[in-house]
Structure 1
Amino acid sequence: MATTLQQLLDGLTQRATEPKPSATIEDVTGTLDHLGRALTGLAHDGLTPGNSMRQRTITDLAAACTTVGRLWPHTGGPLTDLAGAAADLVGRDRAIMGRSHRWAVSVELAEVADHSAGLAHRLLPQAAVDELATVRELAVVVEQLAQTDPPTAAGAAVLDRLVPMPGNPLAAAQLTVLDASGALAAAVDRARERNELSLRNFRAAVAAAEITSRSAATVTAAATGNDAGPLLVTGLAWQLVGRASTVFDDGRQTRSTDPHGVVPWALTFVGHLRAQVAFDTDIAALRDWEDLAAVASRMQQVTGQLSVLAEHLVSAVDRWSRTGQLYANARDLPPMDNMPEDRVAAVIAGRHVQARGADLDRLRQVVGRAAELSTGLADALHRAASMGSLARGHQATRHAPRARAPVAAERLLSHPQSLDRDATTIQSSHRTGREAPPSR
């Protein structure tokens, strides 16, 4: 099953705080060694521009954890394995982390280090190990710094980045919506790295993001009892991305036959979203608050992946702007200062030209805006799920119909190639009929 860094760290905390722990001291110190490895990398990349209190504290905490990790020989164990996997994920994602991401991850690692050091003290009640005390003292300082300057929602999004299961997810006995969400993001990233991300792929991913956003708006409104209207702006932002992309053409006339490509995974993901997260259903049909809380939690994890997807799409747009792989009617491109004579002639004649540089600025901007709104929506869902402020069924009834996905998103996902030159088909219209509620 797909997992996240946050889930791994939560698992570590749960094991470290068990009333009757079964871990050995060697397992705990192995855990701290891996935590030190992760913190060392984050400190090396930088938490702040200068030598701030935050930077110094994380650097010192990394050194303290590493020191503890050398006090006993490594024998492995469940805690060590979880910490090793978490450190590996941090190392894998360091290249895409900014300072806000690094701070959010460091705060979570510091909390786990505190619990781990506390467990070590419980295992050795008669021993005064100064190195363990140092870890706990520094972790407290990190907590105090986080209280005065807490991680942002955008920074914390990296903690919920899904890691798809190894191998072929479709071969799993039970594929979950989280597996499909992680696989979709991985498919987009894979196609982008190979320079094989077509406009058809791009639009399929955007359509999946729009459908996800509208479903998230429904669940958030039901969970909080608030009106869905303001939440729907995220879905509209993704719809605008799809519309902006129809200006361009990449000249590809053939479809990809890769069964694990972007379009197949987008279709698979949306199918599982409907089945497992109550997509496009009356939220009031959920039988009790526990059901709604579970739906809100799953929806929050899925929505948290939209910022990851957006990063891959922005990267693709940047590459297209450098390589000139896309074409557009010169009349549809933004005006230029000191427009060259050949572009002027193309505008007059209505010819297609290579789109480069600033020609794709609008597309890049709308993807970025959709990403920001998606982060806010995921944060709203997280707060709704964690606070347990769940509205009763009769309150949810009035929200669900307003948040249904428009026909355009469905059409874009099912037949993205049909929209290559037809911008009008992206316009929104209301669905008719209802989907059956998810089976239990």
Structure 2
Amino acid sequence: MKRTVELAVYALQNSRRAKLRTSLTVAGIAIASGALVSMIAFVLGLRQQIEGPIERLGLLNHIEVEVDGAHADSVTLDDELIDKIEQLDGVRFAYPDFRLAEATLKANDKSVTAYAVGVPREAGLLDFAEELLVAGRFFSLGEGQEVVVSQELVKRLGFEPMERAVGQTVEVSVSGLTVVDDDQRLTYEADTLPLAIVGVYQPPKIGVSLGGDRIMLPVDLMRKMPSSWMEGALQGIRSSGKSARGYPQVIVRTERPVDVLRVEPKLRELGLRTSSVVDRVEDMRNFFVFMEALLTAVGTVALVVAGLGILNTLLMTVMERYQEIGLYKAIGASNNDIRWIFLVEASVTGLLGGIAGLLLARVVSYALAFLFNRYAEQYGIRGPDAVFVFPWWLLVGGVAYSVVISVVSGLYPATKAARIDPIQALRGQ
């Protein structure tokens, strides 16, 4: 053990002889490993920005349901069918997908326009509620006249600090065409409701932040509002090319993400067409795995090129220290001792290059993230929190990969040095 340590110290001392050559070799490894780590960190950051909010907001439990075109004449997506859907094993609840493109909010002598989304009162019982809320709560399970408003709209209505908005009353005005009977006759209506602000939420960021001009209303309240049926009908026309009887679309929430794959076939048996985030997420994950593999291959090519620099450096070292190596072997150094010296030099070069590459990757990532966010701010977009993500395994793997490439590159020079004939070396031949 003592001899091994002495040989390692000697190898380190030899690395300091040609400082310029060693520094250039380390720089090559640093640039290659830094580029590799940065590219993978960018893909991981992009993956986190997309998948993170989806998982936190429970969208993996989310199924969008509408009537299949082949069963449009025999299936009606109404309350009776919704009750039947809720009886399926694995379904937590289902509700009509109500949306209003334009609702006017008035408070503190100020008026703002918002996009309204219908949310079931049970949403407050879900885990994602805590991820969204920054003040107050979600809807009660009764029939209260309540609304949850985005943080941006609260500020535009003059509530500062935003906590002061909770408990205040805001007038919500909506107008538009609505269905008045089973014959699908339409009439224009307008309505204004005084609603209590029970919560303030921050819109999630998926890649970039979603619009902050949104309010959430209880589904049972939106059923009675003008225009909500018309918005749904238009949405159904856009998706299927025809107006549907009943609700154009229903949202189904499962108990667990794994239940989605079990529930979807049962929904199709009811004559419904389904769309879930699970399918899209799986496609995205496959894409990210492909990108990580592709960038790793590109980075490996760069590291191999840098490894050739190590090979060249060590071969030159063998030539320069030819007689010195012969002397060591003449006084008792074995082939393994000589081989160990050069492999230690190669591994140290790779280690220094890998560490320097990590520092370079962090500096470059901070600079690019800063520029990206500044550019996004110019267009009023709130950029992602983390453009690059550096998990511990990437940092350790980046350094280890650099060391492995360096050691492999040093095998030939180390073997060549170990085979030197001491007699010929001492003669200078």
More helix by percentage: 1
TM tier, smaller? under 0.3
Select the structure that is richer in strand: 2
TM-score (norm 1): 0.23
Bigger relative contact order, structure 1 or 2, given CA contacts below 8 A and separation 6+? 2
Which structure has the larger Rg?
2
- Length-normalised TM-score, structure 2: 0.24
